[in-house]
Amino acid sequence: MNTQINLRLPEKILISAKKRADKEGFGTVQEYIKEVLRTELFENVSSKEIKLVRNLISLSEKNKLYGTEKDLFDKLKSNV
């Protein structure tokens, strides 16, 4: 499930975001902003956290808690 938010930006930032979105091949500023957020959120994940998630995936598959890695991520995404 996705939740829509409204975001007000100063015009100078919006213009810069539009230029960057165009330069990097994004169709819209919204797509660009979503990618920037994804990158920021996931690049800050530590190697210890990644190892923990991999162990969770392995145990979940072994015990057939969610079936596959995709099933597990789908379940995790639905709870975010």
pLDDT above 60 for 80 = no
Look at the block and give the residue holding tokens 């808690």. 65
Its pTM stands at: 0.52
Distance CA 6, CA 33 (A): 12
* DSSP classification of residue 22: H
What residues does each domain of the chain span? Answer: 10-44, 46-80
Please report the pLDDT score of residue 79 as a whole number.
63
Name the nearest CA neighbour of 18 among 2, 35, 5, 33: 33
pLDDT above 70 for 59 = yes
**Residues in Cβ contact with 68 at an 8 Å cutoff, skipping those fewer than 6 apart:** 61
7-30: average pLDDT: 94
- For 19-50, write each residue's pLDDT tens digit: 999 999 999 999 999 989 888 887 777 778 77
54-76: average pLDDT: 77
Distance CA 72, CA 49 (A): 16
